[in-house]
DNA sequence: GTAATCACG
DNA sequence: GACGTACGTGATTACG
């Protein structure tokens, strides 16, 4: 080893700085065989190779190292906790590349230097200072202004992207002072990106002028009182301490204790085999060829499946036709691994980091995702490379015994946890919210994540479902093992824990492999469909938010529901006997068929209409009509039905939904359920809890907070009409919203020329029906039905409305035409809702065009509340508040009573600005808030 | 499994 | 001119 001395030349490459520059400078390249993002890796490798070639000869470096940031936690955070606090997470497609770039560095046979607690800049400063002191030369390969303070005799910088050296002159150009005073200028000017406070109101120009005048920072602060400009003087005096802290933050440490002395950084020639192996794995064909020719070895053959384990049997190859991707290795369930001991698990997990992406499929022991345990975890990193890790399987034989050949749960989870939480390993799932919840229960925060279900949803909402089986068929031409035979049905149904491991393993491992393949098939499509932003900002970030809400659950007062059930039962029994008396004979009131026969045959009432199945219609509208004619029986049936509905759907069923462990009800939200972007709530549905009748509201009174808390409800006022006013650009509507007018009264006034003051309620009601009708894609038939008026009258209303607001008709025509041309419509935020039926003939066409008119309006409203929900957790992090439920235009929170008002204001601010910055609405978004001792009282 | 009904926005 | 419709959901019940 040659000592570093006079004549030596050290190149220090700012690896972390370069990663971000390469990432943003290059298009999002992916590895061809599997879609792994590798743009930054490619940029890095090309840069290193170019540098190695160009620096040969007299000026060749004798020593070289690549330096990286290691952790977020540096000594600067101890000095100033807000330092770099608001820095966003790196993009998810960059995260897996961090590790690959370190691998690349080693493949080039270069030292890869990093140290906990320090930034790359501190390590560079330490080496550069030591090298200069030893009499050698230093070139810092970076354009980062934070490194410019190091420029000195013997130390210069080099910007590879601009291909120019940075010396004292260039530093002066940037900071207006010599390199040795750069720290002073940075301390004064601060840095908004890194959250270095500096002196408020002073930028680089002023700072340089002040330092130029007073010589250095301490002198300036000591003599601040002499400054003529009063504002500047006050700023410096008031913020002296903050400026000194800023100086400590920007000053690079030159005394980091480093394990490797400079002499160990001596340049070594790349080893051909090692380097080419890496380049082949990354599938960098051009660079591999170039490197091979330079190193005078044979270039590796890089096929499209390079990096994959060769298929066990490669005969059954699916041919996709000319111009299609290369032949695909078929799924082979016989090659999967079952991880039964810790050594096997460790070996498998060790393969994941280099990939940067792993498909994860987790099975709970049963259907409970909140308090249920894990039965097993399947992982996949490539075709045929999948494994199943059984954890909670049991053998049933009267009692349940833990099945043999399973690693103890705690030990396995301890090994999984670092990978599942590793920021540089992307975890992909299908409906990954399930996995997030199951792992959260085990203290594991699954992140970062991707979701093939949501990829499909962002790409193809309205075209087809997004279940795993549908997608496997559609995109892989593969039919997976069915879940049903494993779990049985009816009486013989069993939880996944009871499925024998040898049956569970191929099913689960195949699931993981399918997810991995689907991700590779779907993720690259996002930019082509222009839905990357939709997916990245409105689908994926919602997953952890919903997982937390679902885990929170809401407290429900069982005793109260039970009392209501009893009350309803009594009243139903009374009604039942009354109805039977009126009918003259007993029958099943709950049977529409029997009821129809009683009404229209036995009692011979008029107006009986048979539907397409031959049964009489007995819907509420029919019964109401009969009741209005003075018939008692249908009126009693309506009362009975209302109670029956409340009892069976709510007061009885909701009690069963209370979780034994938490005492709360945990709904599950379907993110990809509704084509428009709305959520759907299931098991139980908490988005249709009654509110419109007094009896219904009694059920809401059973939704209660914990002691000392209140339920806080915030809802958007008229959000869909506001969106319509914006999208269709209706000046009168927009103005009415700006002026805070009663929008339905205003509509009525415009249409019928009636003054808003003292407007008769039936006129307003008609206008309200029209406003809603417009959102739904109005038709005379629908409006007539709703208002119980003749169709001709309804048509006249609509004509008048369109005359008064011609922009609405234009919007409707424009939207339908767009759908016909493109096959989809879009929300304000770019969400696509496909309309495959839009060009159909016959009655389908009407449905499709109304749906197309409604979708951008309903969907934009859905987007807005999604955006709000994603921002809420950070906004309320400092408050004793939890977000519990979403009901399309309402968010419900549980909050300490003392913090209700503050929480309301914080959330109101988030909700009313949720469209920004993507869309600036021409109408205000008004949010109403209320809180109380129950969900009913919160309204 | 499907249709009818009705709860919500 | 007839068709036959308000938009988006989920749960329960009856019934074949």
CA of A848 to C1' of C5 (A): 11
A441 and A401 part of one domain: yes
- Please state, in angstroms and as integers, the Cα–Cα distance from residue A213 to each residue in A180, A204, A431, A862, following that order: 15, 14, 63, 58
**For position A845, what pLDDT does the model report?**
85
Residue A13: beta bridge partners? A66, A141
**Hey, what are A928's tokens?**
């109403």
Looking across all nucleic acid strands, the nucleotide with the smallest C1' to CA distance from residue A776 is C7
| CB of A611 nearer than 7 A to strand B | yes
| A59 and A154 belong to one structural domain | yes
Tell me A499's DSSP state: S
Distance in Å, residue A830 CA to nucleotide B1 C1': 37
- Tally of CB atoms within 10 A around A595: 23
Cross-strand bridge partners of residue A680: A670
Chain B nucleotides reached by a protein CB under 7 Å: 3-9
Flag residues of chain A having pLDDT under 50. Answer: 304-327
Final residue of a domain: which of A265, A291, A306? A265
- Round to whole Å and give the CA distance between A763 and A470: 49
Residue A854 resides in a domain: yes
Residue whose C-alpha is closest to residue A379's, from A507, A468, A503, A512: A512
Residue nearest to nucleotide C13 (CA to C1'): A590
Beta strands in A791-873 (DSSP E): 824-826, 832-834
Residues A656 and A539 in one domain: no
Residue at minimal CA–C1' distance from B8? A688
Tokens 């159909």 map to which residue?
Answer: A840
- What stretches of A584-730 show up as alpha helix (H) in DSSP? 592-597, 620-628, 632-645, 653-656, 694-700, 719-727
Residue A632 and residue A528 in one domain: no
Q: Please report, for the domain that includes residue A729, its CATH number.
A: 1.10.150.20
One domain, residues A719 and A732: no
Please identify, among A848, A883, A916, the residue that sits at the C-terminal boundary of a domain: A848
Residue A327 lies in a domain: no
In a domain, A428, yes or no: yes
Answer whether residue A561 is part of any domain: yes
| Helix residue spans in A351-467 (DSSP H) | 352-355, 409-420, 432-441, 452-460
Q: Is the CB of A465 under 7 A from strand C?
A: no
How far CA A126 is from CA of A134, A352, A430, A499, A922, in Å, comes to: 12, 34, 47, 59, 55
- Nearest to residue A515, comparing CAs of A331, A673, A674, A675? A331
Domain that holds residue A443: 336-552
Radius of gyration over alpha carbons of chain A, in Å?
Answer: 34
**A396 CA to C11 C1' distance (Å):** 33
Instruction: Look up the CATH number of the domain holding residue A579.
Output: 1.20.1060.10
Q: Is the CB of A596 under 7 A from strand C?
A: no
Six token digits for residue A54: 């160009």
The residues near A516 (Cβ < 8 Å, ≥ 6 apart) are A357, A358, A359, A380, A381, A382, A383, A386, A428
> How many structural domains is chain A composed of?
5
User: What span, in angstroms and rounded, lies between the C-alpha atoms of A250 and A217?
Assistant: 13
List all nucleotides in chain C with at least one atom under 7 A from a protein Cβ.
3-16
Strand nucleotide closest to residue A643 (CA to C1') = B6
Residue A778 CB lies within 7 Å of the nucleic strand C = yes
Q: Which of residues 328-367 of A touch strand C (CB under 7 A)?
A: none
Confirm whether A1 is domain-assigned. Answer: no
How many angstroms separate the CA of A690 from the C1' of B8? 7
Residues A528 and A391 in one domain: yes
Residue A543 shares a structural domain with residue A614: no
List the A703 CA – C5 C1' distance (angstroms): 37
Q: Is residue A286 in some structural domain?
A: no
Model pLDDT, residue A192: 79
A779 CB burial (10 A radius; 0-12, 13-18, 19+): middle
Q: How far is the CA of A846 from the C1' of C3 (A)?
A: 10
By three-state DSSP, how is residue A851 classified? helix
Instruction: Give the nucleotide nearest to A687 (CA→C1').
Output: B8
Tell me which residues from 646 to 675 on chain A have a beta carbon below 7 angstroms from nucleic acid strand B.
646, 649
Q: Is the CB of A397 under 7 A from strand C?
A: no
Any bridge partners for residue A137, and if so which?
A9
Residue A199 falls inside a structural domain: yes
Distance from residue A149 (CA) to nucleotide B1 (C1'), in Å? 75
Check whether residue A761 and residue A884 sit in a common domain.
Answer: no
What are the tens digits of pLDDT across the range A296-327?
888 877 754 433 333 333 322 222 233 334 44
Indicate if A422 and A537 belong to the same structural domain.
Answer: yes
Nucleotide of closest approach to A697 (CA, C1')? B7
Task: Kindly report whether the global pTM for this prediction surpasses the value 0.85.
Answer: no
Residue A294 belongs to a domain? no
What's chain A's length in residues? Answer: 939
Contacts from A475-478 at CB under 8 Å and sequence distance 24+?
A475/A517, A475/A518, A475/A521, A475/A522, A476/A328, A476/A331, A476/A514, A476/A517, A476/A518, A476/A521, A477/A318, A478/A330, A478/A331, A478/A514
Q: Among positive and negative, which fits the CA dihedral A721, A726, A728, A730? A: positive
Nucleotide with minimal C1' distance from the CA of A614 is B3
Q: Which nucleotide is nearest to A716 (CA to C1')?
A: B9
Q: What is the CATH classification number for the domain harbouring A396?
A: 3.30.420.10
Q: Which of residues 821-850 of A touch strand C (CB under 7 A)?
A: 842-843, 846-847, 850
Last residue of a domain, one of A214, A246, A265: A265
Q: What is the pLDDT of residue A535?
A: 95
Q: Which of residues 173-232 of A touch strand C (CB under 7 A)?
A: none
pLDDT at A324: 36
Find and give the residue nearest to C10, measured CA to C1'. A685
The reply to whether A620 has its C-beta less than 7 Å from any atom of strand B is: yes
Digit-coded pLDDT (tens) for A368-382: 999 999 999 999 999
Please check whether strand B approaches the CB of A692 to within 7 Å: yes
The answer on A737 and A695 residing in a single domain is no
Strand B atom within 7 Å of A482 CB = no
CATH classification at residue A903: 3.30.70.370
A864 sits within 7 Å of strand C by its CB: no
Name the closest nucleotide to A670, judged by C1' and CA.
C9
CA A721 distance to own-chain centroid: 27
Encode pLDDT of A270-289 as tens digits: 888 889 888 988 889 889 98
Residue with tokens 């016959």: A842
- A231 and A206 within one domain: yes
d(CA A300, CA A572): 81
| CA A34 to each of CA A281, A467, A875: distance values in angstroms, whole numbers, following the listed order | 11, 22, 38
- Any strand B atom closer than 7 Å to A887 CB: yes
A540 with A609, same domain: the answer is: no
Supply the DSSP symbol for A191.
B
From the Cβ of A890, is strand B under 7 Å away?
A: yes
Give me the CA A371–C1' B4 separation in Å, rounded: 36
User: What residue is closest to B7 (Cα–C1')?
Assistant: A688
Of all nucleotides in the shown strands, which has a C1' nearest the CA of A676? C8
- C14 C1': nearest CA residue: A591
* CB proximity A681–strand B (7 Å threshold): no
Retrieve residue A437's tokens. Answer: 């919840």
Q: Which runs of consecutive H residues, i.e. helices, occur in A536-649? A: 542-552, 558-583, 592-597, 620-628, 632-645
CATH number of the domain where residue A204 is located: 3.40.50.1010
Burial class (CB in 10 A: 0-12, 13-18, 19+), A701: middle
Residue A858 Cβ under 7 A from any strand B atom:
yes
- Give the residues across from A664 on adjacent strands: A555
The DSSP string of A65-89 is: EEE----S--HHHHH-TTTTTTPPP
Cross-strand partners of A929: A714
Indicate the average pLDDT of chain A: 90
């Amino acid at each position: 080893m040659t000592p570093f001395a006079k004549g030596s030349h050290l190149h220090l490459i700012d690896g972390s700085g370069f990663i971000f520059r390469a990432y943003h400078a290059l298009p999002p390249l992916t590895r061809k065989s599997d879609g792994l993002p590798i743009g930054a890796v490619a940029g890095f490798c090309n840069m290193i190779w170019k540098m190695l070639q160009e620096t040969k000869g007299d000026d060749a470096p004798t020593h070289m190292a690549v330096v990286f940031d290691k952790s977020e936690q540096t000594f600067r955070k101890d000095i100033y906790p807000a330092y770099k606090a608001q820095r966003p997470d790196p993009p998810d497609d960059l995260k897996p590349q961090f590790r690959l770039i370190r691998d690349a560095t080693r493949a080039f046979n270069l030292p890869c230097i990093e140290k906990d607690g320090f930034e790359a800049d501190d390590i560079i400063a330490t080496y550069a200072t030591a090298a200069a002191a030893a009499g050698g030369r230093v070139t810092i390969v970076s354009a980062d202004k934070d490194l410019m303070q190091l420029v000195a005799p013997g130390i210069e910088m080099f910007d590879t992207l601009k291909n120019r050296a940075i010396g004292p002159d260039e530093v002066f150009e940037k900071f207006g002072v010599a390199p040795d005073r750069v720290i002073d200028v940075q301390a004064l000017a601060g840095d908004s990106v890194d959250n270095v406070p500096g002196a408020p109101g002073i930028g680089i120009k002023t700072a340089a002028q002040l330092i130029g005048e007073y010589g250095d920072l301490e002198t300036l602060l000591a003599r601040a009182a002499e400054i003529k400009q009063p504002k500047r003087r006050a700023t410096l005096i008031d913020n002296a301490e903050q400026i000194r802290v800023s100086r400590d933050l920007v000053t690079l440490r030159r005394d980091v204790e480093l394990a490797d002395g400079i002499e160990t950084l001596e340049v070594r020639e790349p080893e051909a085999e090692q380097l080419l192996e890496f380049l082949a794995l990354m599938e960098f064909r051009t660079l591999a060829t170039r490197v091979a020719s330079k190193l005078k070895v044979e270039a590796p053959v890089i096929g499209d499946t390079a990096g994959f384990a060769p298929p066990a049997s490669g005969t059954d190859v699916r041919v996709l036709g000319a111009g299609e991707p290369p032949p695909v290795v078929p799924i082979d369930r016989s090659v999967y691994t079952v991880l039964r001991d810790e050594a096997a698990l460790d070996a498998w997990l060790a393969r994941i980091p280099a990939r940067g992406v792993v498909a994860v499929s987790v099975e709970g022991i049963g259907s409970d995702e909140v308090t249920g345990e894990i039965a097993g975890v399947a992982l996949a990193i490539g075709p045929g490379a999948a494994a199943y890790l059984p954890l909670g399987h049991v053998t049933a034989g009267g009692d349940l015994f833990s099945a043999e050949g399973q690693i103890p749960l705690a030990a396995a989870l301890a090994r999984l946890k670092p990978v599942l939480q590793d920021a540089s390993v992307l975890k992909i799932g299908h409906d990954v919210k399930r996995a997030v919840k199951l792992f959260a229960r085990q203290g594991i925060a699954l992140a970062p994540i991707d979701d093939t279900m949501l990829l499909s949803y962002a790409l193809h909402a309205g075209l087809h479902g997004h279940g795993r089986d549908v997608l496997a068929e559609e995109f892989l031409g593969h039919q997976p093992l069915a879940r049903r035979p494993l779990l049985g049905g009816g009486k013989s149904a069993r939880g996944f824990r009871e499925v024998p491991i040898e049956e569970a393993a191929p099913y689960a491992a195949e699931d993981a492999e399918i997810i991995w393949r689907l991700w590779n098939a779907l993720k690259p499509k996002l930019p082509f469909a222009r839905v990357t932003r939709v997916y990245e900002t409105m689908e994926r970030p919602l997953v952890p938010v919903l997982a937390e809400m679902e885990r929170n659950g809401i407290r429900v007062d069982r005793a109260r529901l039970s009392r209501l059930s009893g009350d309803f039962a009594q009243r139903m029994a009374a009604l039942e006997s009354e109805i039977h008396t009126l009918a003259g004979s007993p029958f099943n009131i709950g049977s529409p068929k029997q009821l129809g026969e009683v009404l229209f045959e036995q009692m011979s009432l008029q107006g009986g209409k048979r539907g397409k199945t031959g049964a009489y219609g007995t819907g509420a509208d029919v019964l109401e009509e009969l009741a209005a004619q003075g018939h008692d029986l249908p009126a009693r049936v309506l009362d009975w039905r209302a109670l029956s509905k409340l009892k069976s759907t709510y007061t009885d069923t909701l009690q069963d939904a209370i979780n034994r462990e938490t005492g709360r009800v945990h709904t599950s939200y379907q993110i990809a359920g509704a084509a428009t972007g709305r959520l759907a709530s299931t098991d139980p549905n908490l988005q249709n809890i009654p509110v419109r009748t007094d009896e219904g509201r009694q059920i809401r009174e059973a939704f209660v907070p914990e002691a000392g808390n209140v339920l806080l409800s915030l809802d958007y006022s008229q959000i869909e009409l506001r969106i319509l006013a914006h999208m269709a650009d209706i000046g009168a509507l927009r103005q009415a919203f700006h002026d805070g007018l009663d929008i339905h009264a205003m509509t009525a006034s415009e249409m019928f020329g009636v003054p808003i003051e003292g407007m008769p309620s039936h006129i307003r009601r008609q206008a309200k029906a029209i406003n809603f009708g417009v959102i739904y894609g109005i038709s005379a038939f629908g409006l007539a039905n709703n208002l119980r008026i003749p169709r001709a009258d309804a048509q006249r209303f609509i004509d008048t409305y369109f005359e008064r607001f011609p922009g609405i008709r234009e919007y409707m025509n424009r939207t339908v035409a767009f759908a016909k041309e493109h096959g989809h419509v879009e929300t304000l935020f770019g969400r696509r809702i496909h309309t495959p039926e839009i060009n159909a003939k016959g009655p389908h066409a009407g449905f499709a065009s109304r749906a197309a008119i409604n979708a951008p309006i309903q969907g934009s409203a859905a987007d807005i509340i999604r955006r709000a929900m994603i921002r809420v957790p950070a906004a309320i992090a400092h408050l004793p508040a939890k977000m519990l439920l979403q009901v399309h235009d309402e968010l419900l929170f549980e909050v300490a009573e003392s913090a209700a008002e503050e929480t309301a204001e914080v959330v109101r601010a988030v909700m009313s600005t949720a469209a920004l910055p993507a869309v600036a609405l021409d109408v205000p978004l008004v949010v109403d808030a209320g809180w109380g001792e129950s969900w009913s009282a919160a309204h």
